[in-house]
């Protein structure tokens, strides 16, 4: 949107079903020309950029993707652009931009960018993805006699909600050798098998910091004593799949007592999961979460549609085989 040329952006089948109006609208407010499929709601998106103006945008959702789209466009807009969120979302973009010469400041739930500055060339070290580490953290916590040390993981506080929730549930998990790399906090994570996990309630304000970990957290909740409730997570219905419906459906097939709400789930445990045939719903995180559930299920489990995993973690099943033998 900030460049003076024409572009067309698209993606795979799952990305072409994700809502784009939430990004198109603020960029149009800034002066970009955008057209999209299905009444300007779905990709592909045609973009005619250049000549952007600053705006004050109040995002209706706590979404790092929406926020980052506006902040990056704001680099090419004259004046100050303000983005306000209802709750704090992931802040990787805000941490990176100062390193490349951007004039940016954070004031609570507001992020302000002054456009028109020259952007400097830079080098950055990208830490390991916490969302990818989460599958192995949960696996270690629920598979008897397991212990795993995951190195060089980004532990940005807007991303690590699952870690703190696991601690609250009694999991044996700890952060080791915390350090700063390219403006991000990085550490090693040690996780061990834990008996006697206890259920917990996930409040709406906790959801943004563990939004991507929801599928595998549901697997963890199946092994906890009591009823775990997740509310305020309606955003999960517009990910690569409807993750609320997907996890309710597939865990139900494994014998889990799941109650589905418009904005979350209620899961009763502990449950001895039952092996069966499951569907990944063309969603990489659902596929990986169900694969972790399969490791502790009684009998064989088949997960259909696991090719979706290649979107974010091409070596996932190789890692599983290395760890389980």
Q: Which residues are catalytic?
A: 212
- Which sign, positive or negative, has the C-alpha torsion 154, 325, 255, 144? negative
- Which sign, positive or negative, has the C-alpha torsion 175, 68, 316, 287? positive
Sheet-wide strand order for 264-269? 201-202, 226-230, 264-269, 257-261
Locate 136 and state its tokens: 């192995």
The greatest distance separating any two alpha carbons of the chain, rounded to the nearest whole angstrom, comes to 62
Q: How far from each other are the two terminal CA atoms of the chain, in whole angstroms?
A: 48
Measuring CA to CA, how many Å separate 48 from each of 24, 45, 266?
Answer: 12, 10, 45
Measuring CA to CA, how many Å separate 156 from each of 206, 232, 305?
Answer: 14, 22, 31
């Amino acid at each position: 949107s900030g460049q003076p040329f024409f572009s067309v952006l698209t993606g795979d089948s799952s990305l072409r079903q994700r809502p784009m109006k939430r990004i198109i609208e603020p960029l149009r407010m800034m002066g970009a020309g955008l057209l999209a499929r299905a009444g300007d709601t779905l990709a592909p998106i045609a973009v005619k950029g250049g000549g952007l103006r600053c705006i004050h945008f109040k995002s209706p959702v706590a979404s790092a993707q929406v926020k980052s789209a506006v902040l990056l466009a704001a680099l090419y807009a004259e004046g100050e652009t303000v983005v306000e969120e209802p709750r704090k979302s992931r802040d990787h973009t805000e941490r990176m931009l100062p390193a490349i010469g951007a004039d940016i400041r954070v004031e609570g739930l507001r992020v302000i960018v002054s456009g028109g500055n020259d952007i400097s060339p830079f080098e950055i070290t990208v830490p390991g993805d916490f969302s990818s580490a989460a599958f192995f953290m949960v696996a270690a916590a629920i598979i008897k006699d397991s212990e795993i040390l995951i190195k060089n993981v980004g532990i940005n506080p807007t991303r690590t909600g699952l870690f703190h929730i696991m601690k609250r549930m009694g999991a044996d998990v700890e952060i080791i050798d915390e350090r700063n790399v390219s403006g991000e906090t990085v550490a090693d994570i040690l996780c061990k098998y834990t008996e006697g996990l206890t259920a917990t309630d996930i409040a709406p304000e906790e959801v943004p910091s563990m939004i991507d970990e929801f599928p595998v957290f549901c697997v963890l909740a199946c092994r906890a004593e009591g009823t775990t409730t997740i509310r305020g997570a309606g955003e999960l219905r517009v990910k690569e799949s409807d993750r609320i419906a997907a996890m309710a459906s597939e865990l139900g097939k494994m014998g889990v007592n799941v109650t589905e709400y418009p904005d979350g789930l209620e899961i009763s445990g502990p449950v001895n999961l039952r092996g069966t045939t499951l569907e990944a719903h063309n969603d990489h995180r659902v596929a990986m979460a169900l694969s972790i559930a399969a490791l502790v299920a009684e009998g064989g489990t088949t997960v259909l549609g696991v090719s979706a995993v290649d979107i974010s973690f091409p070596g996932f099943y190789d890692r599983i085989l290395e760890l389980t033998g």
